[in-house]
A and B are shown apart, each in its own frame.
Chain A
Amino acid sequence: MNWNTIRSGLVNTAVAAGLLAGVAGAANADDKKLKIYLSLSYSGNSWQSEAANIVKALAATPPYDKAIELKEVISGTDVQAQISAYESMISDGAAGIISFPVSPTGLNRAIRKGCDKGTLFFMYDGTVTEPCAYNVSYITAGFGENTAQALVNVLGGKGNIFLSRGVPGNSVDKRHTDGAMAIFKKYPGIKVIAEYYGMWSDQTTQSETAKALAAHPDVDGIWAQAGEDGAIKALLATGSKKLVPVVGENSNGFRLALANPAYQAAGFKGVSSGSPPATAGYAFKLMMEMLTKGRKLTTHNIEYPLPWVPAEGVKLCPGDRFENGCNTFPAGKVPDSFVTEVFEANLLPELSLVTALDGKPTPGMTIQPLPGEVTAAPDTPGINCQKCNGNGDIYALTKIKATVQP
């Protein structure tokens, strides 16, 4: 009855069949096209499909549409399935693999093997510790500590809080929570009265938050990873006149709630930050510049800027693009669970709402060159390097200053 195992088994079979068909097809295809693979671990939430859609849209945007042949493989949530997928791609002669990795360490051997055969590996959002791969991620940019400080600030340094975490055992969840706890521990007045796993899903977060609220109606604030929209829905469902501050990630529903005057009057405050699906597009363009323009990168660990939108910063977009600093879509245009950070004006001007929703290129758009500089991510043991030491205070605040002292 292990649904995941069975499903990934089927997925494996499907991948193998797909690859066979791909190999057969490639023989007829234009040999000059670069073979690029998009390897997803999992599809099923908005974030994953938006990130994949962005890569697909960019691959179909001229001049890349003529230059590359992109194939997408979804291998499920277990490491072994993604290893097999990588190995099949490498033997198919992949020039580049852009991937959301399931594990920071479990894929290293397969990646090493690919690097030796000349395959370029670009990881987005999730990272790997194999030094030959390139990691493009916001993880090291400090979501946990910055949002924790924002919560501490609005609570005036004391109060009972919930930690709504991600997926247990996942390195991203650990990095975020460690960062947050580094701040919360400084304040003796802050008490974590419930800690639960929302699995980065709105529904799970909602039911877990509802359970925690039943036990602790006296909560003063919620620190949440992705799924925060469910935490708000659970708060609203109690029917209480009083809302509490929430810091969380980038769902459209959360941003709309932050800007809602009625909620604000009931005590709702917070900051929207966290994982941007646009990272996938940036990673893809970097990889393509290396493959087609001979771009050299001085570091293998590239940091993507951390989004940071407090309530007063929420600005509705009239159209389908992020223009004039807008960062949220009106209710009804996209689902509440839609992750808003799908654009980046400087790095990814090619994108629009159709790219994120349908994986289709923006009409009339061509690929624009990236800026010459990249931001190097700090070494973080277990996240982007294996045998290394974190330099200095890896949990130093970058987005916000402490307004209350412990």
Chain B
Amino acid sequence: MSPPADTRGLRRAGLGSDVWNAIALFGLTALLIIASRWISSGFGGWEQTKAILVLSSFVVVVAFGQQLVILTGGLDLSIASVMTIGGVLTFNFVGASPTALIWGVPLILLVTAAIGGLNGIGVVWLRVPPFIMTLAMGIIVYGATLGITGGTPRGQASPALSALFTASVLDVPLVIYFMLAITICGSVVQLGTGFGRRLYAVGTNPAAAYIAGLPVRWLTFLTYAISGASAGLAGILMFGYAGGATLTMGQAYQLPSIAAVVVGGTSILGGSGLYIGAVGGALLLTTFSTVISSLGIAEGWRTVIYGLVILLALLVLREELYLWAGQLVARPVPLRQPGEPAAKPDA
């Protein structure tokens, strides 16, 4: 990954720390998987890794849009409902037909992108605060889905979409290749295109970016549209996984989508962070939830532990830690010799 040329945000935070953050997350995930062998004999192997990768694919996809939105200083709270409508529409209109899949999936992505676009219009042109705009949109979309389906989503399972999860090449489920492709494409969009690089400028200082001649409004609008489409794609995947759709299918992914992005090192205030970090965050959080599930403790405490883990991850994986670690490497602190007084009393 070559450092982008003219991104103020990245230069400020230092690309290094973001990349280190992502590497640390992948490393922690691997360590946790290996260490979980002591919790359960079935853990620590390829089977568990596969299960974790498959389960994290939804968060990885939805986190792409969420990360772009957060990067510009916004927040998307409508993704649970948009994921649901993506799944419900696919269930209803695509179903088992392979030809419907070819035109249906792009069409559904367009619909969900349009919903995201409405968020963008509200935030950018109507100046509604992002969390209010997206929360309201989430409720409206939820209501519309309930209204359209009359409470029961109907349709057929799609063998082609289910094959993403059931078929494997080289003992790797297809969805994992898909996730890898999304991660690479997402990172290329973020770091290799003018669009991606400009978002850092927008997130760091929108006023300055505007004066510098960047189309700040359009860029912000686009991030919301992309977030809608990525939530829609996650909903389509979720439908493939479950073979059906319910009106609450997206709900479990609202908080993880934000947590993965923030744990992944993206500043909640915008301007810095990488998608690859959010991918690491998604993997780490899914691994934690898998390990916690197997601890055999009561549900209440399990939820408490999961909440604490997110909090702890946020505290530990803060940028300062890497800066501090960087300083340690650059200027080694002289170690105190044994017997030497801790501090000179009259210094």
Is A366 an interface residue, CB under 8 A from the partner? no
Q: Which residue of B lies closest to A52 (CB)?
A: B151
Chain B residues positioned under 8 Å from A202 (CB to CB): 242, 244, 246
Decide if A153 is an interface residue (CB 8 Å cutoff): no
Residue numbers in A under 8 Å from B96 (CB-CB): 332
Asked if A215 and B40 sit within 8 Å, CB to CB, the answer is yes
Size class of the B contact interface (CB-based, 8 Å): 35 or more
Chain A residues numbered 320-361 whose CB sits less than 8 Å from any CB in chain B: 332, 334-338, 357-359
Query: Which A-chain residue is minimally distant from B138 (CB atoms)?
Result: A3
Q: Does A207 contact B (CB under 8 A)?
A: yes
Which of B42, B80, B142, B152 makes the CB contact (< 8 A) with A49? B152
Task: Report whether B294 and A45 are in contact in the complex, using a CB–CB cutoff of 8 Å.
Answer: no
Asked if B137 is at the interface (CB within 8 A of a chain A CB), the reply is no
Question: In the bound complex, do residue B243 and residue A233 qualify as a contact, i.e. CB atoms below 8 Å apart?
Answer: yes
Known: A44-B246, A44-B247, A214-B48. A6 touches B139 (CB 8 A): yes
A237 touches B42 (CB 8 A): no
Q: Cβ of A53: which chain B residues have Cβ within 8 Å of it?
A: 151-152
In whole angstroms, how far apart are the Cα atoms of A334 and B247 in the complex? 16
Most-contacted residue by chain A among B155, B156, B238, B293 (CB, 10 A): B293
Whether, in the assembled complex, A396 has its beta carbon less than 8 Å from a beta carbon of chain B, the answer is: no
* B244 touches which of A49, A210, A337, A357 (Cβ 8 Å): A337
Enumerate chain A residues within 8 angstroms of B131, measured Cβ to Cβ.
1
Most chain A C-beta atoms within 10 Å of own C-beta, residue among B42, B146, B151: B151
Q: A211 with B293: in contact, given A168-B299, A236-B166, A335-B154 (CB under 8 Å)?
A: yes
Q: Which residues of B contact A196 (CB under 8 A)?
A: 293, 299
- Cβ of A362 under 8 Å from chain B: no
Decide if B153 is an interface residue (CB 8 Å cutoff): yes
B296/A203 in contact, CB under 8 A = no
Any A CB within 8 A of the CB of B52:
yes
Are the C-beta atoms of A45 and B54 separated by less than 8 Å?
Answer: no
Knowing A210-B51, A214-B47, A335-B244, the reply to whether A46 touches B249 (Cβ < 8 A) is: no
Measured between alpha carbons, how far is A336 from B246 in the docked complex, in Å? Answer: 11
Q: Does B64 contact A (CB under 8 A)?
A: no
User: Chain B residue with minimal CB distance to A44?
Assistant: B247
Known: A48-B151, A210-B51, A239-B168. A217 touches B42 (CB 8 A): yes
Interface pair B156/A332, CB less than 8 Å apart: yes
- Contact in complex: A44, B43 (CB < 8 Å): no
Per-residue A-contact encoding for B240-284, CB less than 8 Å = 1, 0 else: 011110111101101100000000000000000000000000000
Q: Are A212 and B151 in contact, with the CB atoms below 8 A?
A: no
- Asked if A45 meets B248 with Cβ closer than 8 Å, knowing A3-B80, A202-B242, A211-B51, the reply is yes
Contacts of B47 in A (CB 8 A): 214, 217, 238
Find the B residue at minimum CB distance from A49: B151
The reply to whether A214 and B52 contact each other, CB–CB distance below 8 Å, is: yes
Contact check, A1 vs B77: say whether CB atoms are below 8 A apart: yes
Interface residues of A in 4-50 (CB under 8 A from B): 6-7, 10, 43-46, 48-50
Given A43-B146, A44-B146, A233-B242: A214 in contact with B151 (beta carbons within 8 A)? no
Give chain A nearest CB distance to B241 CB in angstroms: 7
Q: How many residues of A contact B (CB 8 A)?
A: 53
Q: Digit string of A292-324 for contact with B (CB within 8 Å is 1, else 0)?
A: 000000000000000000000000000000000
B150 interface residue (CB < 8 Å to A): yes
CA distance A192 to B51 in the complex (A): 21
Instruction: Pick the contact of B293: A46, A168, A208, A336 (CB < 8 A).
Output: A208
A217 cross-chain contacts in B, Cβ below 8 A: 42, 47
The reply on B205 being an interface residue by CB < 8 A is no
- Distance of A76 Cα from B194 Cα, bound (Å): 46
Which of A43, A194, A214, A253 has a CB less than 8 Å from the CB of B247?
A: A43
The yes or no answer to B165 lying at the interface (CB within 8 A) is yes
Give min CB distance, A255 to chain B, whole Å.
15
Q: Which residues of the other chain, B, contact A68 by a CB distance below 8 angstroms? A: none
Asked if A45 contacts B247 (CB within 8 A), the reply is yes
| A336/B142 in contact, CB under 8 A | no
What's the nearest-Cβ distance from chain A to residue B174, in Å? Answer: 12
Please report which residues of chain A, range 140-176, place their CB below 8 angstroms from some CB of chain B when the two chains form the complex.
168
Q: Given the complex of chains A and B, what is the CA–CA distance between A337 and B251 in angstroms?
A: 18
Distance of A78 from chain B, by nearest CB (Å): 15
Say yes or no: is B55 at the interface (Cβ < 8 Å to chain A). yes
* Cβ of B86 to closest chain A Cβ, rounded Å: 13
**Contact B51 A203, beta carbon cutoff 8 Å:** no
Interface hits, A42-68 → B, CB 8 Å: 43-46, 48-50, 52-53
**A204 at interface (Cβ–Cβ under 8 A)?**
yes
Contacts of B151 in A (CB 8 A): 43-44, 48-49, 52-53
Please state if A213 and B246 are interface contacts (CB–CB under 8 Å): no
Answer yes or no: A248 CB below 8 A from chain B CBs. Answer: no
Is B51 touching A197 in the complex (CB atoms < 8 A)?
no
In the assembled complex, A119 has its CB within 8 A of some CB on chain B: no
Choose one: A3, A168, A215, A237; the contact of B165 (CB below 8 Å): A237
Judge whether B242 and A230 touch: CB under 8 Å.
yes
**Does A99 sit at the interface, judged by CB under 8 A?**
no
Residues of chain A within 8 A (CB-CB) of B299 are 168, 196-197
Is B154 within 8 A of A3, CB to CB? no
A216/B246 contact (C-beta < 8 A), A3-B251, A206-B241 known:
no
Closest beta carbon of chain B to A235's beta carbon, Å: 11
Q: Does A272 contact B (CB under 8 A)?
A: no
> For the complex, is A218 an interface residue (Cβ under 8 Å from B)?
yes
B60 within 8 Å of A by Cβ? no
10 A-B pairs with the lowest CB-CB distances in the bound complex, closest first: A49-B151, A44-B247, A215-B294, A214-B51, A215-B40, A214-B48, A168-B299, A49-B152, A211-B293, A43-B151
Query: Could you list 15 A-B pairs, sorted by A, with CB under 8 Å?
Result: A3-B254, A7-B142, A48-B151, A168-B299, A197-B299, A203-B238, A203-B252, A206-B241, A211-B51, A214-B43, A214-B47, A217-B42, A217-B47, A332-B156, A337-B244
Chain B residues within 8 Å of A, Cβ to Cβ: 36, 39-40, 42-43, 47-48, 51-52, 54-55, 77, 80, 91, 96, 131, 135, 138-139, 142, 146, 150-157, 165-166, 168, 238, 241-244, 246-249, 251-252, 254-255, 289-290, 293-294, 296, 299-300
- Beyond A44-B248, A215-B40, 13 extra complex contacts between A and B, CB < 8 Å: A46-B152, A202-B246, A203-B238, A203-B241, A203-B246, A211-B55, A214-B290, A216-B42, A229-B244, A233-B243, A238-B47, A253-B244, A335-B153
